Structure 1
Amino acid sequence: MNFKLSLLALLLSFSVITTSCISVKVSDNTVSAVSSEVRKPKNIVLLIGDGMGLSQVSAAIYYKKDGKPNFERFNTIGLSKTSSSSDLVTDSAAGATVFSAGVKTYNGAIGVDKDTIAVPTIVEQLSKEGYSTGIVATSSIQHATPASFYAHVKSRRFYEDITAFAPNSGVNFFAGGGLKFFNDRKDGENLLDDMKAKGYDVFTDKLPKTPSRNNEIILLAEDGMPKMSEGRGDFLPNATKLALEKLSKNEKGFFLMVEGSQIDWGGHANDADYLIEELLDFDKTIGEVLDFAKKDGETLVIVTADHETGGFTLATDGKNYNKIKPTFSTTGHSGTMVPVFAEGPGASLFNGIYESNEIYHKMKALLAK
């Protein structure tokens, strides 16, 4: 009898411990703090597949030729509701501002709320706390998603205004396109000089093999980076590896945002080959980050999307159920929920179905000291 009581007490104790490890404090449906029992990450890497819905992710299963997709390495998967404050179907600007600043805002907004008031971004907040930060994209770094992490403007189309935030952004590592918005501006200014004056090393010809000791900005295209089909090669995985090598030298920790920007562009073009090539490049990049995180042991990896683009589906080719024919229902975005993958310390918080801005609040709660 005593043995049975002891065993029951042990099981109850284990249940309490297990439950407390995933508990969170919630205020107005927003995560505000994490239980002290939750193992918190030192670093967070947020990978955004722009326009990447579940069918896009599923394409990796059917079109990846060398082994399983890296998406299958995740053990925690949730779903995000993507509507903006102004529209049922979000755009990329509002869709990224939810991740960078934690607010639902209007379509077109970059780092501002629905009243066009600037909201501090996670990059700005963590930079002030001593973390290293980085932004990598296959678009220009002034495009909607990357811009939302360091700029505050009322319209995503104000590319030169967005660029003006870069010298004082505190971001330690930029990589992508967008050179012309620095050195071919309507105001005649050359903001590359401003970047250098702020201590940045500037690279415009190729990706360095090793990280600089200084902050660095790598701009390898006048606007967006070339497509994979145009010879971009391994820019995204290699730039991400370089960023990880650089940022991980900070003992405090780091935050890195990586965007597979052109998955979205393939969806808008209703070009399945374009979309799938970009998706597989993004999957390869995810693999590099997961490999780093597995070795590091202190890094939370989150993979999600701002929205789905193209109403993309993996349909049968007529009545042939052994052949897939990718199809589209729109050249715009759709309102479907998008997946959220998480792996590493704190990953369990990303289970379930929640509003997209919850991702910001979960990240902030996990990094709170």
Structure 2
Amino acid sequence: MSKNRIQMVAVFTLAIFCTTLAFSQQENKPKNIILLVGDGMGLSQISSSLYFNEKPSNFLRFNTVGLSMTSSSKELITDSAAGATAFASGIKTYNGAVGVNEAMEPAETIVEHISNKNIATGLVVTSSVVHATPAAFYSHQESRRMYEEIALDLVKSDIDFFAGGGLKYFKNRTDNLNLLQALRDRGFEVETNVLPKKISEKKQAIILAPDGMPKMSENRGNFLTNATMLAIGQLSKNKEGFFLLVESSQIDWGGHANDTEYLVNELLDFDKTIGAVLDFAKTNGETLVIVTADHETGGFSLSNENGDYNKVIGTFTTKGHTATMVPVFAQGPGEHLFGGIYQNTEIHSIIEKLFKRD
């Protein structure tokens, strides 16, 4: 074979390879993305699912794992507001900021970005629905403590489904606005008593507690799993796909309280929800599942009990947050993009890239 012909074959082969790779990458984009956030969940919290769980941990089902650096723009140790804003808007900002940059200017959220593409959106939390993490995905306020303003932002947002607590911020407000009626006026079916068992023909607003939802030890039951699956069923009706945020909010609260039992109960509830989501994604085939944390809380460690290396107990070093990196787990179309070590803002960048429909 002549040199020219060899070169032609090489070029042709390379062209086929590049075309195939591009096609493969295009085909590897998910239709749906579910982001599950364990607030305050570091590696030791995740490891507790191995030692305090009656069933195999669902974290063991992931093959792709990365590490996220969590510092905010002004502090080495982030809070949930700045951490969630990094996920939602892809920017580093100051602690306490909800959907705004350092200059307190609104930063476009992933919910706002993809809603313009007719992609459905939802959120399920065990805190109030106006708490820092969920708020960062639909609100723009200079402080996470501006709960009434954040609730009004939720009513005006493009969110199609939400479930959690926070009822007191929607009625009996200082401005006398009835935000429950405002939600109905915007086409929502509003439920304030029990979690519905059936998908609604309307958008759904489910607010079941005055503020945060009860602890697992206070008989919250399967709310997180059932609400998540209800959200998936509702949002799956949208032919363009969906984005769902699920937060196990109270892992963080157990860490702040230095209460191992509280923390582990919430973590195991989250583990069960992860399992249900992974089962759906496996059957669906078009869904990317991402599990991570905004930061670690409590300096939680799994230590031996009185020198006995066959007994594990939880210990803490602080009642606040820490600067440790947190794991990122991914499974589904596009999961390969989540390996490595990167800033928490990269999670937003990847999600936005995967939702690009061009």
Asked if these proteins are the same fold (TM beyond 0.5), I'd say yes
Which residue is 1:104 aligned to? 92
State how far apart, in whole Å, the 2-side matches of 1:264 and 1:318 are: 26
Q: Which runs of 5+ in 2 are unaligned?
A: 1-5
Any conservation in 2 of the 1:41–1:366 contact (CA below 8 Å)? yes
Q: Which residues in structure 2 correspond to 1:125-164 (within 5 Å)?
A: 125-164=113-152
**Which of 311, 322, 331 matches 1:323?**
311
SS in structure 1 of the partner of residue 41 of structure 2: coil
Counterpart AA for 1:309: T
Counterpart AA for 2:245: M
How far the C-alpha of 1:170 sits from its partner, in A, is 1.2
Q: Which residues in structure 2 correspond to 1:136-215 (within 5 Å)?
A: 136-215=124-203
**Deviation string, structure 1 residues 278-319 (Cα, Å, up to 9, x no partner):** 000000000111011000000000000000000000011131
- Residues 1:48 and 2:31 aligned together: no
Which residue is 2:52 aligned to? 63
Q: Which residues in structure 2 correspond to 1:228-239 (within 5 Å)?
A: 228-239=216-227
CA RMSD of aligned residues (A): 2.1
State how far apart, in whole Å, the 1-side matches of 2:104 and 2:199 are: 36
- Residues 1:114 and 2:118 aligned together: no
Any conservation in 2 of the 1:315–1:326 contact (CA below 8 Å)? yes
**Structure 1 pair 17–274 and aligned structure 2 pair: CA distance change class (3 A):** farther
How far the C-alpha of 1:356 sits from its partner, in A, is 0.3
**Deviation string, structure 1 residues 120-157 (Cα, Å, up to 9, x no partner):** 11111111210110010000000000011110000000
**Structure 1 pair 314–17 and aligned structure 2 pair: CA distance change class (3 A):** farther
Any conservation in 2 of the 1:38–1:346 contact (CA below 8 Å)? no
Which residue is 1:270 aligned to? 258
State how far apart, in whole Å, the 2-side matches of 1:287 and 1:17 are: 37
Q: Which runs of 5+ in 1 are unaligned?
A: 1-5, 24-33
State how far apart, in whole Å, the 2-side matches of 1:211 and 1:17 are: 45
Counterpart AA for 1:141: V
**Which of 304, 327, 338 matches 2:326?**
338
Which residue is 1:348 aligned to? 336
State how far apart, in whole Å, the 2-side matches of 1:293 and 1:325 are: 34
State how far apart, in whole Å, the 2-side matches of 1:73 and 1:120 are: 33
Which residue is 1:244 aligned to? 232
State how far apart, in whole Å, the 1-side matches of 2:331 and 2:243 are: 15
**Structure 1 pair 233–329 and aligned structure 2 pair: CA distance change class (3 A):** same
Counterpart AA for 2:97: A
State how far apart, in whole Å, the 2-side matches of 1:80 and 1:241 are: 27
**Structure 1 pair 362–177 and aligned structure 2 pair: CA distance change class (3 A):** same
State how far apart, in whole Å, the 1-side matches of 2:25 and 2:165 are: 41
Which residue is 2:3 aligned to? none
State how far apart, in whole Å, the 2-side matches of 1:276 and 1:179 are: 27
State how far apart, in whole Å, the 2-side matches of 1:35 and 1:355 are: 27
SS in structure 2 of the partner of residue 236 of structure 1: helix
State how far apart, in whole Å, the 2-side matches of 1:38 and 1:115 are: 39
Q: Which residues in structure 2 correspond to 1:71-82 (within 5 Å)?
A: 71-82=59-70
State how far apart, in whole Å, the 2-side matches of 1:136 and 1:95 are: 17
Counterpart AA for 2:302: L
**Deviation string, structure 1 residues 32-68 (Cα, Å, up to 9, x no partner):** xx984561000000000000000000000001102x1
- Residues 1:294 and 2:262 aligned together: no
The percent identity for this pair of structures is: 58
State how far apart, in whole Å, the 2-side matches of 1:17 and 1:146 are: 42
- Report the more deviating stretch, 111-120 or 302-311: 111-120
State how far apart, in whole Å, the 1-side matches of 2:93 and 2:220 are: 33
Counterpart AA for 1:56: Q
State how far apart, in whole Å, the 2-side matches of 1:35 and 1:271 are: 47
Any conservation in 2 of the 1:133–1:247 contact (CA below 8 Å)? yes
TM-score of the superposition, structure 1-length normalised? 0.91
State how far apart, in whole Å, the 1-side matches of 2:17 and 2:293 are: 33
Which residue is 2:298 aligned to? 310
Q: Which runs of 4+ in 1 moved over 4 A?
A: 34-38
SS in structure 1 of the partner of residue 170 of structure 2: helix
Counterpart AA for 1:188: N
Counterpart AA for 1:231: N
How far the C-alpha of 1:17 sits from its partner, in A, is 5.4
